[in-house]
Structure 1
């Protein structure tokens, strides 16, 4: 059964209730590289239970509906799907421990044409025990093996490309050799990130890092460079996944201030000089003083 617009657009998701504790929040922070310097007290606030603060991108591993595109009823060539973009809005800080209810829906099904694929936009909202909205996430999935649908939605507004001039600030972060093995304990046990044989069968020389781990490392770079490690100032972060990252590499985040609250950024794997996250945009809360350049 081929992919059908109406089937995907009206896909029914069950609400997901996700209980998490301080260990989960700290494990996520460790997975995206916080605590690499155990004597850095600014990083320690994310990996030590005293006055624990959560990273905004922790939301990406909470209340996930699972790999629903693998369901035969979807008619999607799930082997060929790739995570194209991730967008996140933070409405209130995530508690260091608690319960969230996740509500998901498909908001857009965008046909690129027969044999050209289709884009599926899944929106997920996270709510606390009082049903207050904590975060809204949009995942844009590129279904490369589909397309040629009978109907199509209007595309989302495109993400902005970075400026052509030299970045105003840069931040280099090291990807630990065991980063993928650590990050996969959060939510994604795909063997592509752990098993060398699986990675090689998929065309990679060795296991790759999760895209959402790279995304979390971008948030780390932004918070470190512009927010003096105060994650509560990061209100949104959007990016396009453009290439795989390998554990052990160095990631360089190049950043530009577009206006008082808006930043543009890209991330590249330094050793290969390959852009791995492109079209990055983040917004910050007002107030606070930017830190010095890294």
Structure 2
């Protein structure tokens, strides 16, 4: 079997350098669609290094920090993993933010695989990775799930089923976010080189009529939308975010976001707000794209939002 469960889960953590500057940050934000309109001060805070409030960094940048696939994707270099990228789908993502990401840093990623689950027709590789700053303190920790079609059925644990169904009421906010036909090609410049997102032949081999958008790109767009509309444009408030990738999204489609807000009590370190959301492909009858998605943020005094 291309995945040797015992070997990969017992392997020592993989350490890799993650070095970035404001150029990579600006390119990442532009790949999410930032900078429209180009004169909006809020948009320029993502894309202009000379902004008077400084260049802010979405926490989702931490997953691709360093331009090599970033935090959590060193699994393909680990012993016991020999898989066809055409059989791979990113199943879910969770990010815990320990402190805001700087616009430039020399950091280290520490990645391990705590589990491989058997879903019958597919195996799910669970990765946990921490992005550590130069001072030795963590910046963020992320866990993701990689579905590998055709590698299940080895008699392993099916794993937990953690779901966050959408509230049984109308959403508090509905947004439609357009994408570019070349958006996947732009996002690849952040370091995720999977040909599934660029090569038509690879996409057809995986069962799609054309390349699909990276799940992390659609997730980053959703987190940016919550930041802009509900957090006053302040990404430093975000303490965590997560999603399950429920379906494919094609570049050029419109991402429809439905967002529900719920305030939660503090835990001694101040209160926080939770925003639950779903994302669908508007042109394909609201086909699911993101489900079980949440963004948590530190509570602050309510003010105007953009």
2:166 corresponds to: 162
Task: State whether structure 2 residue 40 is matched by structure 1 residue 33.
Answer: no
2:297 to 280, 284, 290: 284
Contact residue 99 and residue 139 of structure 2 kept, 8 A: yes
1:21 corresponds to: 21
2:191 corresponds to: 187
Query: Residue by residue, what CA displacement relative to the aligned partner does 1:46-74 show, whole Å, maximum 9, x if unpaired?
Result: 10002111111101102346464487843
Contact residue 159 and residue 281 of structure 1 kept, 8 A: no
What's the CA shift for 1:129? 0.3
Contact residue 71 and residue 130 of structure 2 kept, 8 A: no
Query: Residue by residue, what CA displacement relative to the aligned partner does 1:26-59 show, whole Å, maximum 9, x if unpaired?
Result: 0000011111210111011010002111111101
2:260 to 250, 256, 275: 256
Q: CA RMSD in A?
A: 2.2
What's the CA shift for 1:208? 1.5
Contact residue 159 and residue 280 of structure 1 kept, 8 A: no
Give the alignment's TM-score, normalised by structure 1.
0.90
Contact residue 117 and residue 143 of structure 1 kept, 8 A: yes
Greater CA deviation, 77-86 or 123-132? 77-86
Contact residue 14 and residue 112 of structure 2 kept, 8 A: no
What's the CA shift for 1:153? 7.4
* Gaps in structure 2 of 5+ consecutive residues: 265-272
What's the CA shift for 1:255? 0.5
2:11 corresponds to: 11
Superposition pairs for residues 1-294 of structure 1, below 5 Å? 1=1, 3-50=3-50, 51-62=54-65, 63-64=70-71, 66=73, 68-69=75-76, 73-74=80-81, 76=83, 79-113=86-120, 116-149=121-154, 151-152=156-157, 154-155=159-160, 158-260=162-264, 261-272=273-284, 273-289=286-302, 291=304
Q: 2: CA distance between counterparts of 1:290 and 1:10?
A: 49
Secondary structure of the equivalent of 2:63? helix
Q: 1: CA distance between counterparts of 2:64 and 2:298?
A: 23
Secondary structure of the equivalent of 1:266? strand
Contact residue 54 and residue 94 of structure 1 kept, 8 A: yes
Q: 2: CA distance between counterparts of 1:29 and 1:3?
A: 34
What's the CA shift for 1:111? 2.4
Give the alignment's TM-score, normalised by structure 2.
0.87
Structure 1 residues 78 and 249 mapped into 2: Cα distance closer, same or farther (>3 Å)? Answer: closer
Structure 1 residues 118 and 10 mapped into 2: Cα distance closer, same or farther (>3 Å)? Answer: same
Q: 2: CA distance between counterparts of 1:21 and 1:173?
A: 27
Q: 1: CA distance between counterparts of 2:194 and 2:208?
A: 14
Query: Residue by residue, what CA displacement relative to the aligned partner does 1:61-117 show, whole Å, maximum 9, x if unpaired?
Result: 02346464487843556542321100111110000011111001112222234xx33
What's the CA shift for 1:245? 1.3
Q: 1: CA distance between counterparts of 2:181 and 2:90?
A: 23
Contact residue 3 and residue 83 of structure 2 kept, 8 A: yes
